[in-house]
A and B are shown apart, each in its own frame.
Chain A
Amino acid sequence: MTRKAISFVELAVAALVVGLCLPAVLALMTGQEREVRHSAHELDIAGISHGRLGELEGQLATQGYPRDPFRQDRSFDLSSSGRPIRVREQSKIEYLTTHPGVFSIEIEYTWTEPYAGSQANRRHLASLLVTDPQVGLKERPRAASGAGGNKN
């Protein structure tokens, strides 16, 4: 009787351990856990880039749409939000001389995934075109030669 009872306990403990570990083991085996973490990082970075685009757009508006290119290279980590990764951000604002009145904002984020083994290096790109609201006022309206009408 005693021997049988011990056997039941052993069985129950074994089942509990296997049952608890099984989903985790399955997740690790299928790479699901890793992908979930990557997605969470990707979402974090995408959110940051979305906000940063708005910030740079506002910077353009407040600084009067300067024609000189603006570049910034900085790094930050996401440890405060529980992500053990460090991100490098390279942003660029450029006046498109080929398309007067348009500014291009480009941001590139690079980081290393700590759980990804050889696929560690990740990249996220974000961009936005912004119109200078003063375009059209800067250039003097001109008349095409040979068009009809009085040119006074």
Chain B
Amino acid sequence: MVLWCVVSVLAVLAISGLFRSMAASNLRWTSHDLVVEWKFETLARSLIAALEAELRRAVNTEGPISDLLRHSLSKPDSTWVDLTPFLDASLCQTTLAREEYAGFVLEKLEVGIAFQTPLPRSFEEKVAVAVFRAQLKLPATARQVSRRLELARSIKVSRTTIDPVLDRYGLFIGSATGLTDLPQANAIYSDLVSRLTPLYPAMVAQRDASSGSVRQSWEWVLDQTMDPSATGALPNKLPEPARFAFYGLIPSAATQDLGPLDLAVYLQGIRAQVDQLQAYWESVKSDSSKASKAAGALAAAMQDGIWRLWAYQKAYKILPLDGSPEAARAMELSALLEAGYFAPRAQWVLREDPEGPTVEDQLYGLLSLVGVASGVVSLENRKVPVVLRGQMPGNLLLLAGPGGVVLNGVNSQPRPGDHLTVSAHAGPVRIQGRCNLTLALGRPGPGEPALTLEFAQGSQLVGALLMVQRPDPWPDRGSVTHRAPSPLLPLLTGGVARSAGLFVAVSPRILYQRVERL
């Protein structure tokens, strides 16, 4: 009996020892497995990071990946586009060979586009989802299983300039009604013509009645004066639609002072000058020593007004907004300048933070970090204008917030191939000095301040000035010199012109990340 008791106690203790031993062994394996799982995660993330860096460098460098991302797209597409064969995976092999990852076997490593959808009003600009996958067999000492890490990032392909259909215009105003008083401009023009018409034959008569040096003087003046009775000498009157679009300044390097675009006001000034010169001419026309000079000055002033009206309709198109197909097209072009068109294209968004750096500081911080920057950056300044100054190398499209923007001699000496485009839709827009950029002006949204446009004394915009509607008041100074945007990239796909100027940004944020046990 006693012996049985002793044996039983020994048996129980032996069994407990065995269980303890098994539990300890199990604990050891569990902790080992845990370490292996952690190593799997860091290894898989490292392999994907190596591949991701390759992808980031390839998206904007001429090559197959750049081409694939710039293909036109008419509707959402979820066909898998494998990018792995075009990427260098040498760093992945080096990583796998590291001591801490001994025993891991790479089963699959891939990256591709899983889904892409075009941005509104574009076939080339798009949002895509890039998916990275690293599948590894865990070391033999752990459970014989494989794991797959899948990670997704979004990619945005955006144009860093305005839509190419607007490239040809140095000046575009979608709704220019009120830019000038067209009936008044025509009335002044008619007045000038009616005054020049009798002046010319009077000058001819004076010449015929004179001789010697006086006759020579009349002949010189007549050479400088147009004969209003000659066929085709006078331009047609301007159309007088109630509502109109206004666009032009097509030739490259053509310059337009903005003040004279209010033609009626400009012609009023000329008519006042003509009135003075005519009074003088009337007073000296019988004095042979002064008459020819006075008549020449009067005729020249009249001609200035007439030619100004001719140049106005030669350089610009005044398009009645009357529901015609042409008018509808002008409205379509206007829509390409609205804030709502640009907003979905933003690749980086810099937000105001009351306790952090200003939007302007964030922008310059980003630029100093990056050096040569390209892409579409949305500046969400709500109250204070962002001041852009100095050189901005690269191809940037900056979307100013309702706080407005000051362009202070920005890109005064641009490098070939660089182009800056600034879009504003509300608040003050002020140009100072010489700025090389395309300025696209939209309309304020509900509750946002009105957009005002101001040119400082002697300021010059080299690029293009494009707007949805005429700002009120119209700037009375400053000039625009047309320079079409240079494309960011060469025509990568051999003749697909619209692919120029497209920039691909890979989001720094992870859309999702998951580990699968296989």
Q: Judge: A and B partners, yes or no.
A: yes
Chain A residues within CB distance 8 Å of chain B: 8, 11-12, 15-16, 18-20, 22-23, 26-27, 30, 32-33, 35-36, 39-40, 42-43, 46-47, 50, 53, 64, 96, 99-102, 125-144, 147-152
Q: Which residues of A contact B16 (CB under 8 A)?
A: 23
A23 touches B50 (CB 8 A): no
- CB-based contact A101/B57 at 8 Å: yes
Does B56 contact A101, Cβ atoms closer than 8 Å? yes
- Whether A141 pairs with B374 at a CB distance below 8 angstroms is yes
Chain A residue with the shortest CB-CB distance to B100: A125
A150 to B32, CA, bound (A): 59
User: A20, A130, A138: which contacts B49 (Cβ < 8 A)?
Assistant: A130
Complex: how many Å from CA A135 to CA B51? 12
Which one of B13, B24, B39 lies within 8 Å of A22 (CB-CB)? B13
For the complex of A and B, 10 pairs with smallest distance between CB atoms: A23-B17, A19-B13, A133-B508, A129-B46, A149-B491, A101-B53, A125-B100, A136-B56, A43-B31, A148-B494
Whether, in the assembled complex, B2 has its beta carbon less than 8 Å from a beta carbon of chain A, the answer is yes
Tell me whether B194 is interfacial, beta carbon within 8 Å: no
A134 in contact with B370 (CB, 8 Å): yes
Known: A43-B31, A101-B53, A126-B42. 8 other contacts (CB 8 A): A39-B31, A47-B38, A101-B56, A127-B95, A132-B53, A136-B56, A142-B62, A147-B494
Residue B427, interface by CB 8 Å: no
Is there an interface contact between A135 and B372, defined as CB atoms closer than 8 Å?
no
B92 to chain A, nearest CB (A): 9
- Shortest distance between the CB of B86 and any CB in chain A (Å): 14
Residues from chain B with a CB closer than 8 A to the CB of A12 are 5-6, 9
| A143:B373 contact, CB within 8 angstroms | no
Alpha-carbon separation in the docked complex, A83 to B91 (Å) = 38
List residues 178-220 of chain B with CB under 8 A from any CB of chain A: none
Q: Which of A8, A126, A133, A141 contacts B100 (CB 8 A)?
A: A126
Taking the closest CB of chain B, its distance from the CB of A41, in whole angstroms, is 10
In this complex, the interface size class of chain B, counting residues with CB under 8 Å from chain A, is: 35 or more
- Mask, B482-495, CB within 8 Å of A = 1, is 00001111111111
* Docked complex Cα distance between A141 and B47 (Å): 25
**Are A127 and B100 CB-contacts (below 8 A) given A22-B14, A27-B24, A152-B487?**
yes
Query: B interface, by DSSP: helix, strand, loop or mixed?
Result: helix
Q: B227-280: which have CB < 8 Å to A? A: none
Q: A139 contacts B42, CB within 8 Å? A: no
A147 to B9, CA, bound (A): 88
Interface CB pairs A-B, < 8 A, 28: A15-B10, A18-B10, A18-B13, A19-B9, A19-B10, A36-B24, A36-B28, A42-B31, A43-B35, A53-B42, A99-B53, A99-B54, A102-B53, A125-B99, A127-B46, A128-B49, A129-B45, A129-B91, A131-B56, A132-B53, A133-B56, A137-B374, A140-B394, A141-B374, A144-B62, A149-B492, A149-B493, A151-B491
With both chains docked as a complex, state the minimum distance between the C-beta of A31 and any C-beta of chain B, in angstroms: 11
Chain A residues contacting B5 (CB-CB under 8 Å) are: 12
What distance in Å separates the Cβ of A135 from its nearest Cβ neighbour in chain B?
Answer: 5
B residues in contact with A137, CB < 8 Å: 370, 372-375, 505
Which of chain A's residues have a CB closer than 8 A to the CB of B328?
none
Which residue, of A19, A27, A139, A151, has the highest number of chain B Cβ atoms within 10 A? A19
Report the bound CA distance from A63 to B422 in whole Å: 29
Residue of B nearest to A57 (CB): B45
Let me know if A100 and B91 touch, CB within 8 A. Answer: no
Chain A residues contacting B400 (CB-CB under 8 Å) are none
Return B427 CB to nearest CB of chain A, in Å.
28
B61 within 8 A of A: yes
Q: Determine whether the beta carbon of A131 is less than 8 Å from that of B53.
A: yes
A27-B487 Cα distance, complex, nearest whole Å: 75
CB of B59 closer than 8 Å to a CB of A: yes
Contact of B27 (CB < 8 Å), options: A20, A36, A53, A148: A36
Contacts of A27 in B (CB 8 A): 17, 20-21, 24
* A residues in contact with B497, CB < 8 Å: 150
Q: Which residues of B contact A143 (CB under 8 A)?
A: 62, 489-490
B52 within 8 A of A: yes
A137 to B504, CA, bound (A): 10
Please report the C-alpha to C-alpha distance between residue A126 and residue B99 in the assembled complex, in whole angstroms. 9
Is B98 an interface residue, CB under 8 A from the partner?
yes
Assuming the contacts A8-B2, A131-B56, A139-B57, asked whether A32 and B10 have C-beta atoms less than 8 A apart, the reply is no
A152 to B417, CA, bound (A): 9
Q: Which residue of B lies closest to A137 (CB)?
A: B370
Residue of A nearest to B99 (CB): A125
Candidates B35, B52, B98; contact of A46 at CB < 8 Å: B35
B371 within 8 A of A: yes
Residue from the list B35, B495, B500 in contact with A42, Cβ < 8 A: B35
Q: Within 8 Å CB of B491, what residues of A? A: 149-152
CA distance A74 to B25 in the complex (A): 33
Judging by beta carbons under 8 Å apart, are A149 and B494 in contact?
yes
| A125→B43 CA distance, assembly (Å) | 12
Q: Is the Cβ of B91 less than 8 Å from the Cβ of A102? A: yes
Task: Select A39's contact among B12, B27, B50, beta carbons within 8 Å.
Answer: B27
- Interface-centre pick from B39, B493, B500 (highest chain A CB count, 10 A): B39
Contacts of B370 in A (CB 8 A): 134, 137-138
- B34 contacts the other chain (Cβ, under 8 Å)? yes
Write the chain B residue with the least CB distance to A46: B35
- Contact between chains at B24 and A32 (CB < 8 Å): yes
Q: Which residues of B contact A64 (CB under 8 A)?
A: 369
Q: Is B506's beta carbon under 8 Å from chain A?
A: yes
